[in-house]
Amino acid sequence: MNYLVTLDSINNDIINCTLCNRLVQYTQMVGKNKVKRFSNQTYWSKPVTGFGDPNAKVLIIGLAPAAHGANRTGRLFTGDHSGEWLIRALYETGFSNIPTSTSSNDGLNLNNVFITSCIRCAPPSNKPLPSELTNCSKFLKSEFELFKGIKIVITLGSIAFRTYCKISNLKKLKFRHLADYQVNDKRLIVSYHPSLQNTNTQKLTWAMWIQVFKRARSILHNN
């Protein structure tokens, strides 16, 4: 009997994964030793699934849940600086119904977009080990196999870019902001990650950032 892969089955496998002891211990430790501003909240402190439109044509790949963002709220790019930037940009380009992402029950709905990540647990210092990236890659592969209608892949940051290239067997592609590659039947748009470090230093400005999603919208419009 064949195992039927569905989004629910992938998500169930993600939530119950304990392959990486370091990450399991870290996510639980963060949930117990909360920062003061979230001291009255119960942290998710488990692996975090992707979310969005199940019929998406745009797949966004981030790095990992933030320790006090998605590891707290249980939803990627929710309750942190990077989430503020991403959802505002999606809203301004017509991919989201609201411009904010504060909690898993805030009413946010994505249109034609599914958001996922390379690593499903918050890693210490936002630096996953190579073995952890390898362990988690199976979930990204399963999502790619499930989402047949994806036309555009947006990678946020160099690790997401390299991870996508590895699982897709793509070679000789260069990481640079707003690089746009035709990859078989898909377009790959490359971006810096909207981390606090990148945005505070102006390595990534809002004008640079919003262009990523305007490009995606233009590609969809012209197809």
Q: Quick: pLDDT tens for 90-131.
A: 999 999 999 999 999 999 999 999 999 999 999 999 999 999
CB of 47 closer than 8 Å to CB of 120: yes
Helix (H) or strand (E) holding 71: helix 70-73
What the chain holds in terms of domains, given with CATH numbers, is: 7-222 (3.40.470.10)
Q: Is the pLDDT of residue 4 over 80?
A: no
Task: Choose among 128, 185, 130, 175: nearest CA to 153.
Answer: 185
pTM: 0.96
Residue 2, pLDDT score: 44
